[in-house]
Every structure is written in C-alpha cells, then in structure tokens.
Structure 1
Amino acid sequence: MASSGSCNNCGKTSLVRDDVTGELMCSSCGVIQEYDQFEANIGGISGPQGTFIRVGTAGASTRYSDKQRKFFQAQSLIDEFTSRLGISSKISDIKTMISTITEGEFGQGDWFQVLIGACVYIVMRKDNRPMSMAEVGWTVGCDVYELGRMIKRVIDHMDLKNFDFPEFDIVHSLERVLKISPSFSRIDRSEMDRIHKQGIFLIQCAMKWFLSTGRKPLPLVVAVLVLVAELNQVEIGISELAKEVHAVVSTCKTRYKELLQKLVEVAQVLPWGRDITKKNIVKHAPSVFKYLETKAMLKPGAKRKVLDHPEFNLADMVSECSRQLDEHGHDSINLPSDSHCSISQNNINSTRPSTRDSNKILYSPECLSMLYKKYSDRVDLQEDCSEWWNGKSEMSKKLLLKQLLEKDVGFETVPPSFISNCLKCEMRREKISAAKVRIDRIMRPWNSDLGADDCSEKKLKRRRKLVDGVDWEDLIIETLLLHQVKEEEIEKGYYNTLLDLHVFNSGIV
C-alpha cells in the first residue's frame, strides 16, 4: 500500500507499507522509515499507548532493518544486471545459485557484482546458451580475468568439475549479436532473415575450415556478419560492431582477412578462379556462395560431375557474355588473334564439348579467363540476393557438430594453428642445429665443422635479421642442450617446463 510523504534517505515519494511488519519503507532505496509507528495517547487511560523511544537508541528493529535492506539491494542488483543482458527468464536460476553460495545472505560490494556475473555465465553455459565473458564482465564492471577467477571458485564450490558443460555454441553467439547489436536494428525483417541464414551458413563453413578452432568466437562472428552485411548492401563498420560486442578490433580484422583468404582458396575451382584475389573476392563472393550452397545440398557419396569435374557449356557461356555486353551498349570483346584463343560463330553454335575432348576446343582456359575478366570489368556484378542465394541448404540452420562434419562445402583444409605450429617446430629445429654448432665450436674448436651447419646458421641469421644471430630463445636452447634435454622435447617449445624439470630442479630434492 502506497503512502504519502518523502523518503528520509533519497527524498523520493515512493513509500510503501510492508504487509508483514507494518513498517514504512522506500521502494527505491529500501530504507526503512524510522519513528513512523508513533501512536498518540488518545482516549484517556483506556486508550492506545504510544511507542516509547529513548534518546540515543535506534529501536529494537535496527538489526532486522539492515538485513532487509541488504537483501533488497542485492535483489535489485541482480534484476538490473539480468535486464541489461536480456536474460530475465533465467533470473530465478541465478538467484537460487547465489543464495546457495552465500547461504541466503547475499551480499554487497564489488565482489558481489563479480559473483553475479559468474553465476550468470555458468547458468547460461549450462543451458547451452553461452554468453561471452567479455560481455558479462563489461556489464558487471570487471575484467575477464577477475570474472574467470570467480567462475572457477563457483565451479569448485558447487562441485561442478565433473559436470559435462555443453560446447560453446558459436551459432547462438551470432544470433545474439544480431539481436542486441544496434547496427542491425535499422534493417527490415525480410533482409534480417536473409542475413541471419547467410550468417549461419558462412559461420558453419568457417567451422569446417577450422577458423574457430582454439580461437575466441566473437571476432569470427563479427567478421562473418560484416561480410554478409556487405554482400546485402548494408554498411556496417567492423570497428563499430566489434566495440558493440566487446571484441578486440584488431583480432576481428585478422579473422576477416582469414575468412576472405579461405573464400579465395574455395574459388580456385571455378573457371575464373585464378583471377580472384583477396582484393576482389567480395565482388565475386556471390558466385562463391552459390557454389558452396550447391555443394552443401548434395547428398554424401552422390556424383558431383557438374561441380568437381565441370563439363561447362562453353558456347552458351560465351554467347551469354556477348549478349549481355551488347545489351549494355559495349563493343564486342576483342581477344588475341592466336589460334588457341579464337572464337568464331561456328564455334559458338557448336555442340557442347566434353572434358575428354579438351584438345579439340579452340578456346583455352586462358582465353575464357580473359573473357570473364573483361566481362566483369564492364558489367556490374552486384547481383540481387535472389539470384545467388537459395537458402534451402541445411547449413542455413544450426547443425550438430557431427552433422556439420558430414557436409561437403567443396574445400578441405587443416587448422591454422596446426600450420603455425609446424612452422614454429621447423624454426626451432633450425635454432637447435645452430645452437649445437655454437656449442661444438666452443667445446671442440679443433674439430668444429663450419660446413652445412654454418650455412644453416647464417640462413637463420638472415631470416631473423639479428645483429649477433643469438636471442633469448637461442640461449635457452643452448642451456637445455647442455643439460642433455632431448631435441624432440625442445621442439615442442615448452621452455619454462623444461627449465623447471632439467635446470632449476636438477639434482635438488
């Protein structure tokens, strides 16, 4: 029941009467209005008696009021954070977990805000709707490292170490960015549905290409959405979107370049693939999308003659290019006059050639590549989405990892981390060989061989552009070799562990 008057603490007129205790409290700050229950002695001796208040005391209800105020403020803080994150449906689970951890006492202060963020992250992860730690940390006002430590403490306290948490759902992360990002709020519903499907398709292709393996998911989500938006003529800056989802801008730009590079590699199977580079892949992306979608819609084990071994109707393709160029008011395409690149009207009207009779074709792949390049330079290739996007592939919807691995998107690769690790191992092998030469030169100067190994060391110096050819990693490798550490272990690069095992703790109990 509301009451007139203003709060003694905040001055607001939001005073309500508690039905249980009968005390007047402020619904905004939760402060109990003291000395409110005084009743005048009216009606003589038999009338009601007032409350006696002794000077210097705050009454018998002080302890209860502090507890109630703390409880009210904790509940309000949880409601505020869950509302910011848009997960009000999970507020009961979050409050239950916090109450279990604090034994019903809840709390106040910065540590309690971090605890709320940790419980939010764990509850959403258990529900297979994970949220990024960066977003949760920004909402509760802490960094990801402090939030991570609190998450670990909560998992230990709740005995969730053996709980099988679902894998991080990167598709759900993409859908959440589309939902909460202001950059996509101005797009109409039909276009948003198309961007949604294309984003899911492309990010699952990126998972097939291992671009998400061992990486933070948000930068890849940002890169996919920026590319898909660009294909739909929606201008969204990668820096602005990265800041909206609390991702590192430089990492998002790196993922965007990696995504473009993979699309370039996929496009190499197309007849004009040699002309596609990272600079013009966005222009050719519609045709690459169409190829990927067609590939993904084929059943496993089915024949793929049209895609893998194309028997293109070259005559129809040349005729179509010439027809469209004439419609745009351009001159006919002038090709080199050599015999391998000549296209006569008889050749255009001829029957479809087969790949087995490729030696009989009078126009070579170089000629067709040149023809397509001239065509693409003169005609605007910004097609309507309905021409290159079907949207009927199963990869336009969220798939389980097992189902995703069975799909064929026309390109197989290995994780970038694996390639990087192989290059680093090769570099360490060269550094080990150079370190052995230096050690042998000092320990056995009369028997040192400055042949092939010395050339390898000079090559290493040129590659790293060092003044003296030795850095901190070379010194560590020399130390490990002198302590008889196997070269196979040194190649793995776990220097701190090897130093602790073989150097600092060698012979010491």
Structure 2
Amino acid sequence: MPICISCKGKTFIRDDITNNLACSTCGRLQEYDNLVDQYGGINGPTGTFVSVGTTGTGNVYSYKETKIYEARKLIDDVSLRLGFSPSESDDVKRMVATITEGEYGQGNWFNVFVGACSYVGMRRDNKSLPISEVASVIGSDAYELGRMIMRVVNFLDLKKPNFPEFDIVNLFERTLRNSHSFADVEGDKVQRMKKQGIFLIHCAMKWFLTTGRRPLPIVAAVLVLVAELNGISVRIEELAKEIHAVVHTSRLRYRELLQALVKVAQALPWGKDITVKNVVKNAPFVIQYMERKAMSKPSKKKDSEGDVGLDLGDVVRDCLRKDIGDGTDMMSFEDDSETEMEKLKLAHQSRYFEVEDGGCALSVDNVDKLKLSHECLSMMYSKFLDEVGNVKSSGGLKEVRERKKRRGFELHACTEWWNGKSALSRRLLLKEILEKDVGLDVVPPSFVNGCVTVKKRREKINAAKLRIDKIMHPLNAHSGDSIDTRTTEDVHSTKKRKRAQGIDWEDLIIETLLLHRVKEEEIEKGWYNVLLELHVFNSGIV
C-alpha cells in the first residue's frame, strides 16, 4: 500500500486533473504513482509518462520512420556530391530498399553500402565512376568499398551484359569534361583533345598498358600528354590528385606511354635520335604515322612478307611539308646548325620516296632493295649539296635560327598534323582495337616481367646448386674460382642505386628448398611460403 512521502499517511484520493493520488491528510500529490509496466514487447499497452515506440520528447515519428528518413537524406547527399541526376539518385534508393527489404540502416556500414550501390548503379548503366572517387565522398577505404561492391553484385546476381566491364573511354571523357584544369579551354580544342585522347587510350589498350591495372593513372597520363600536345600546361601531380589517382603510379604510366611512343618512332627516318626526353616534341609526327598506319589496308602480297601497305614516304613528306624557312622544329637536337642540316637532309631524302613516272609508291624496305648505280647516287648527292649551298648563301639558316630564338620551340598546329579520321578516334570494341596496326605489337608488360623474374630465379637456382656442390664435394671445386651470385639483371642494371652484392634471403630460401629435394620447376614459380610449409616445416608429417 502506498505511503505519503510527506506525512506518511495512508489515505489518498484521486486528483481529477492529473489523475494522480493526493494525500487526504496533507494534500501532497504523489509522483509517478500511475506508471504502468509494459508486457508483450512494443505492441503492449502504453503508459502515461512512458510511450513505447517514439524517438523521444517532441517527436511524433517512430524509430523506423526516423531511420528511413535519415537514410534517404544520406543517399541524397551522396548523390549530390557525386553529381547524380534525380533519376540516378532514385535508382540508388530503389536498390538500397530492395537489398535491405525496406529496412535501410544507419551507421558507418550504411555509408559504405550507399557508396557501393551508387557505383553498381552507374556501372550497370555503363557509366564509368571510379571507386576511389566514391571512397573519397563517403570517407571510406577503397578496399572496404570494393568488398561491399562485390557483396552487392553477388546479391543482385549481376552478370554480363547487364553488368558491363569498366569502360576506360567513358572515364576519360568524364574526366576531361569535369576536370577544373580544362575548364577554360575552348570547345573546339576540347573536342580535338577528346579524339586524340581516345586514340591514345585505344593504343594503350593494344599495348596492354591497361590490362590488370587501375584505369585512373593511365587516364591521367593520357590527359597530360594530350594537354602538352595542345599547348596546355598541366602538371601530372595536380591532375592526379584532382581525379583521386595515385601520383607515383600516374608517373609510371606516363613514362610507359612515352616509352611505347619511342618504340613506334623507330620506324621514322630520324627515329634513332628520339628518346623519352624528346619524344613529346616529336609526338605529332609519331601520332600521324600511327594514324596513317591504322588507316592503311595491308595488301595480300605484303601480308605474306610480313609488311603492310603503308607508304612511309607520304608520312615523311607530310611531316616535312612546311617550308624550312617557317622555323618549325622537327626534332630536338643539341646543336641548332646540325638541326637545320638534318632538316634539309630529311626533306631531300623524302623526295626519293616518290616515283617520277607516276607508278605506285614504294616503302622504305623496297627502296633499300633498289639497285642504284654509282653514277645515279653521285648525281643525287651533288644535287643535294647544291641545294644546301643555295640555302646557306641566301641566309635561310640564319633567319630560321633567329626566329627560333625569338619564339622558342613550337609544335605544329594541331590542325596541321591531326585529322582524326582514324577509326581508333572513335569507340571500338576490344577485338577491333587488337586488329588495328599502329606500328607496334608488344606482349603484356606483366608477361615480360614474369619472364624476367623466372629467368632471375633460374640463375639463382643454378648459383645455389654450385654453392651446395662446392660444400658437399670440395675436391671437385676449383680453389681459385669464386661464385658470383649476382644475376645478369643485377650486372646490367642501369639504376643509380647499387644492388647489394652477395647472398640475400632469397638465395638462402632456395638453398633450403633444394636441400629438401624440392623440384626446381616449383621453385621457379616463387611460392616460397607454401613450399616451406609443405617441405620444410611439415616435412616429418605424413
């Protein structure tokens, strides 16, 4: 029985206004006397002061309604920061509701889940959205986001063609369109950069520079190269940070792209003088050669000989079609006078690719096979010396040199060397890209690196066998011979950092595996931890 908290009385009456008990002796209202216990969970009766199912004082929404409201608000915020349209944002909401069965969620995991649904929705519509960009928006790790994306894809059972592969061309166009570095560039130049970038990306795909690698670094490398060709100053560090790409990886892809262009440039008459340092200045000629090569149709006769029906003379003449007095640089040489002389030589030599009787054009290999008499060669050389002497006497070289000092190095105008008529400037399937010829056919870099690594391990295995044999059979070993444990890659390495000479940890592991009679073919694969577990640490367990 209740007792008054004031006078300790035991007689009470019910107050009509507050519905609380009041002491009949002192009139003191008794607090919290009508609190009703709840039975049966959230569906049980509701007390007077405690209302089950609400979110707190001053809120009439239930917990579930508030959770759904906050979840949709988060989806709208992420969609806005990613630049989604209202329809794309609605698609993400429907996907989230389908997977969670309308329950949505809250917490850090739900932020990652919304980012994964945003990525899957864009990729399902064949719209490229980098994972790193989504991770930066939701404040999550890219690997954690990737694991959530795999769970979403597996739950929805998305497969081709409903879930296409990542389109790097779409990513390039999106980056070029949204990048702040190219916001002030004219529309015509942007369209020209777009075609040039698509051409170079297709070439990179043919050269396997994108195989098994993240797409953002190669996109950053192509954008920087195209910007340099069009006279736009863009630093690769700033562009990589803007598009959420790794700066170091972007530099590596840029260098690999330049190295591939250098290999293509070897087909040009001055290709031996083109290096990674000056290939950007010669890039207009190299790209024009690649474009002509891609548009050429190989003839049946030359196909049997392993050659294509491309007239290299036309390429050279187009590269040198401007008059020498215009002062346009073709190559990057140290001496200006030698540069001008080389220009005259190349301009003169390019004429010998023509056939005066109106016959078909000859390729470089066919020119080398021509049987020319000594008198014909002497006449050509005399004519060449006369032309050079006339230019010298007229002061043409001096005017060109003075004009170069005034305005410095300038590339050909993009409208002169780029026509954009090649099919590689448009969207193509991977099969069509691989069928095109751009002057260079290479194997994937990963395959080359794997072959080099296997060769290096083979040399280490041979060196380890020699060391073991010298210890086990000292009489057979020559006293004056010394074993060089360095491989050919170590000896011929061009890196400035000197490699440590002697036996390293890999040599010791190989020796241990050989002593436990592990097959050399298995050691070449490089799975040292597995081999140690199987043959060394658990060698006594059957």
**2:510 pairs with 1:486:** no
Note if 1:502 corresponds to 2:502: no
Q: Do the aligned partners of residues 458 and 77 (structure 1) sit closer, same or farther apart at CA in structure 2, a change above 3 Å counting?
A: closer
Q: Which residue of 2 aligns with 1:255?
A: 253
Length-normalised TM-score, structure 1: 0.75
Q: State the distance in 1 between where 2:262 and 2:454 align.
A: 27
> How far is the alpha carbon of 1:156 from its aligned partner?
3.9
Determine helix, strand or coil for the equivalent of 1:457.
Answer: coil
2:32 counterpart residue number: none
Alignment CA distance shift 1:387-1:142 (3 Å): same
Q: 1:457 aligns with which of 470, 485, 503?
A: 485
Q: Deviations over 1:151-176 (max 9, x none)?
A: 23333444458987422211111111
Instruction: Return closer, same or farther for 1:505/1:269 CA change in 2, 3 Å cut-off.
Output: same
Pair member with larger Rg: 2
Partner secondary structure for residue 310 of structure 2:
helix
- Give me the CA root mean square deviation: 3.9
**Aligned residue among 45, 68, 73 for 1:71:** 68
2:282 paired residue number: 284
CA distance in 1, matches of 2:216, 2:143: 17
User: Match of 1:9?
Assistant: none
Indicate the SS of the match to 2:485: helix
CA drift at 1:57? 3.2
State the AA in 2 paired with 1:147: L
**TM-score scaled by length of structure 2:** 0.71
Within 1, Cα distance between the matches of 2:137 and 2:339? 60
1:191 is matched with: 189
Equivalence for 1:417: 446
| Pairwise CA distance, 1:149 | 2.1
Cα shift at 1:83: 2.0
Name the SS of the counterpart of 1:421 in structure 2: helix
Counterpart of 2:115 in structure 1 is 117
Matched to 2:473, the amino acid is R
Give matches, 1:341-360, under 5 Å: 355=367, 356-357=370-371, 360=376
The residue that corresponds to 2:78 in the other structure is 81
Q: Name the structure 2 match of 1:99.
A: 97
Measured at CA, do residues 163 and 262 of structure 1 come closer, stay the same or move farther in structure 2, by a change above 3 Å?
closer
2:153 pairs with one of 152, 155, 163: 155
Indicate how the Cα distance of structure 1 residues 399 and 318 shifts in structure 2: closer, same or farther if over 3 A, else same: closer
Pick from 444, 450, 462 the counterpart of residue 433 of structure 1: 462
Partner in structure 1 of residue 262 of structure 2: 264
Q: Is the contact between residue 325 and residue 331 of structure 1 (CA under 8 Å) also seen in structure 2?
A: no
Write the deviation string for residues 487-509 of structure 1: whole angstroms up to 9, x where unpaired: 12211222233333333444536
In structure 1, the residue matched to 2:50 is 57
1:465-486 per-residue CA deviation (whole Å, 9 max, x = no partner) reads 6666121211221222222222
Distance in 2, matches of 1:72 and 1:445, equals: 81
Q: Distance in 1 between matches of 2:526 and 2:372?
A: 51
The one-letter code matched in structure 2 to 1:269 is A
State the shift of 1:358 in Å: 5.5
Q: Distance in 1 between matches of 2:319 and 2:168?
A: 40
- Cα deviations by residue, 1:232-288 (Å, 9 ceiling, x for unpaired): 111111111100111011111111111111111111111121222212111111111
Give the 5 Å matches for 1:472-483. 472-483=505-516
In structure 1, the gaps of 5 or more residues are 1-52
Alpha-carbon spacing, 1:189–1:74, altered in 2? closer, same or farther (3 Å): same
Post-superposition CA distance 1:31-76 (Å, at most 9, x none): xxxxxxxxxxxxxxxxxxxxxx987335765595221111111111
Report matched runs for 1:334-373 at 5 Å: 355=367, 356-357=370-371, 360-362=376-378
- 2:338, 2:264 → 1: CA distance? 31
Task: Give the structure 2 partner of residue 137 of structure 1.
Answer: 135
Query: Which of 235, 241, 254 pairs up with 1:237?
Result: 235
CA contact (8 A) 1:260 1:281 kept: yes
Cα drift, residue 459 of structure 1:
5.9
**In 1, distance between residues paired with 2:511 and 2:321?**
68
Percent pairwise identity: 51
Residue 307 in structure 1 maps to residue 335 in structure 2: no
Among 427, 430, 433, which residue is 1:398 paired with?
A: 427
Cα distance between partner residues in 2 of 1:154 and 1:167: 16
SS of the residue corresponding to residue 77 of structure 1 reads helix
- Work out the CA distance in 2 between the residues paired with 1:439 and 1:68: 74
**By how many angstroms is 1:322 displaced?**
4.9
SS of match in other structure, 2:153? helix
Deviating more after overlay: 293-302 vs 206-215: 293-302
Secondary structure at the aligned position of 1:261 is classed as helix
Q: Distance in 1 between matches of 2:187 and 2:314?
A: 40
After superposition, the C-alpha distances for 1:404-450 in whole angstroms (9 at most, x for unaligned) are 11111111112222221121111111111111122223333344467
Q: CA deviation at 1:77?
A: 0.8
Compared CA separation, residues 164 and 427, structure 1 to 2 (3 A): farther
CA deviations on 1:385-404 (whole Å, 9 max, x unpaired) are: 11011012211111111111
2:294 aligned to which of 290, 293, 296: 296
State the partner residue of 1:470.
503
> One-letter code of the match for 1:265?
K
Q: Is the 8 A contact 1:137 1:143 kept in 2?
A: yes
Q: Please, which moves more after superposition, 294-303 or 94-103?
A: 294-303
Does the 8 Å CA contact 1:325/1:332 hold for their aligned counterparts?
A: no
Pairs aligned (count): 439
**2:69 corresponds to which letter in structure 1?**
F
Contact 1:313–1:352 (CA under 8 A) maintained in structure 2: no
Gaps of 5+ in 2: 1-45, 329-335, 389-396
Is 1:461–1:469's contact at 8 Å kept on the other side of the alignment?
no
Aligned to 1:39: none
Amino acid aligned to 2:242: E
Distance 1:265 1:404 in 2: 19
Q: Give the conservation status (yes or no) of the 8 Å contact 1:242–1:248.
A: yes
Is contact 1:296-1:407 (8 Å) kept? yes
